[in-house]
Chains A and B, each alone.
Chain A
Amino acid sequence: MKSIKAMTNAELAAFIESHLLKRGIDVVLSGGACVSIYSSHKYVSMDLDLVNVRFVKRRDIRSAMKEIGFQEEGRHFRHPDTELFIEFPPGPLAVGKEPVKQVDERKLPTGVLRIISPTDCVKDRLAGYYHWNDLQSLEQASWVAEAIKIDLKEIERWSKVEGKLGEFKRIRTRLVRKEKTGSK
């Protein structure tokens, strides 16, 4: 097993997720770390958002995290061998008004990484853009779309549900152009 110091973000997430799952704690990687993974690290995230899918009590998470050397610091958990902050946002696992239906699994040397799909990752970023007009979120969505295949029709459907179809149409080309050059 790799040391925590040598783990990539994805490997560390897989390590933590697999350990927690052994304790009956189901978490899924979401947020900026997914952008980092799917965009081949074009974006650098300094935290891992592990969504607490089944609303496990904080004290159970604290206890399980302590077993692998993580200490609670306010809302986050830290480990002396990594600069990453680990956070456990409360469930449900959702993008906007809808639940996330598909969780991707990737086998890594440190465990199984459970992560939202690239399409949901783009939706997650677009939600930030739609609701707060956050251009950084839009840029991150573009990076993901550039690096990996996404389901643009599904994103259009979801945007409509969010009441943001007009907004989607305005920014669609930023995702379409890059979808065509997608590597997967």
Chain B
Amino acid sequence: MLVPILGSLSSERVLIFILTRKEGYAREIARFFKTDLGPVQKQLEKLELGGILVSRTAGRTRLYEFNPRYTFLKELKSLLEKALSFYPDEEREGLLMNRRRPRRHGKPL
């Protein structure tokens, strides 16, 4: 959807994922889009270097989220939200309707 602007499909996927899930890590994003890990990792690093994302570690996982100090964040999010509205229903719901509430350790499904 935004590849002509963003320059790569991986970049769009990463940004859309972070938009909908608020945060994410490389393997999780690659798994959701059923794509290779390498290009996703590369884009996450590139977007962090550009000041668009920031990261922190949780255990051994590096979690990425939008940099609240990024100057064009509001405008970027508007553009991504518009793009998301054109995504196929199934994919959009898959991004939005993931479990957010906690699950107690050891609790049966």
**Which residues of A pack against B, CB within 8 Å?**
75, 89-90, 92, 94, 96-99, 127-128, 131-132
Sample of 7 more A-B contacts, CB < 8 Å, known A90-B51, A96-B69, A97-B74: A90-B49, A90-B50, A92-B71, A94-B71, A96-B71, A97-B71, A98-B71
B68 at interface (Cβ–Cβ under 8 A)? yes
Interface residues as binary, B80-106 with A (CB distance below 8 Å gives 1, 0 otherwise) = 000000000000000000000000000
How far is A111 from B91 in the complex, measured between Cα atoms in Å?
55
Q: For the complex formed, measure the closest distance between the CB of B3 and the CB atoms of chain A, giving whole angstroms.
A: 21
Give the residues in chain B near A97, CB-CB below 8 Å.
71, 74
Cβ distance A44 to chain B, nearest Cβ, rounded Å: 22
Residues from chain A with Cβ under 8 Å of B49 in the complex: 75, 90
Which positions 45-70 of chain B face chain A at CB distance < 8 Å?
Answer: 49-51, 68-69
**By DSSP majority rule, is chain B's interface helix, strand, loop, or mixed?**
loop
Bound CA span A89–B49, Å: 7
A98 contact set on B, CB distance < 8 A: 71
Q: How many residues of B contact A (CB 8 A)?
A: 7
* Residues of A contacting B74 in the complex (Cβ-Cβ under 8 angstroms): 97
A94 surroundings in chain B (CB, below 8 A): 71
CB distance from B6 to the nearest CB of A (A): 15
- With both chains docked as a complex, state the minimum distance between the C-beta of B69 and any C-beta of chain A, in angstroms: 5
A-B contact pairs, 8 of them (CB 8 A): A89-B51, A94-B71, A96-B69, A97-B71, A97-B74, A128-B69, A131-B68, A132-B68
| A contact residues around B71 at 8 Å (CB) | 92, 94, 96-99
The complex places the Cα of A99 from the Cα of B72 at a distance, in Å, of 11
Chain B residues, Cβ within 8 Å of A132:
68
Contacts of A96 in B (CB 8 A): 69, 71
Min C-beta distance of B56 to chain A, whole Å: 10
Chain A nearest CB, measured from B71 CB (Å)? 4
Bound-complex Cα distance A89 to B50 (A): 7
In the complex, A127 Cα to B73 Cα: how many Å? 14
The answer to whether B50 touches A131, judged by C-beta atoms less than 8 angstroms apart, is no
Residue of A nearest to B45 (CB): A75
Complex formed: what's the CA distance from A94 to B51 in Å?
A: 12
The 10 A-B residue pairs whose C-beta atoms are closest, nearest first, are: A131-B68, A94-B71, A127-B69, A90-B50, A90-B51, A131-B69, A92-B71, A89-B51, A97-B71, A96-B69
Distance (whole angstroms) from the CB of B109 to the closest CB of chain A: 36
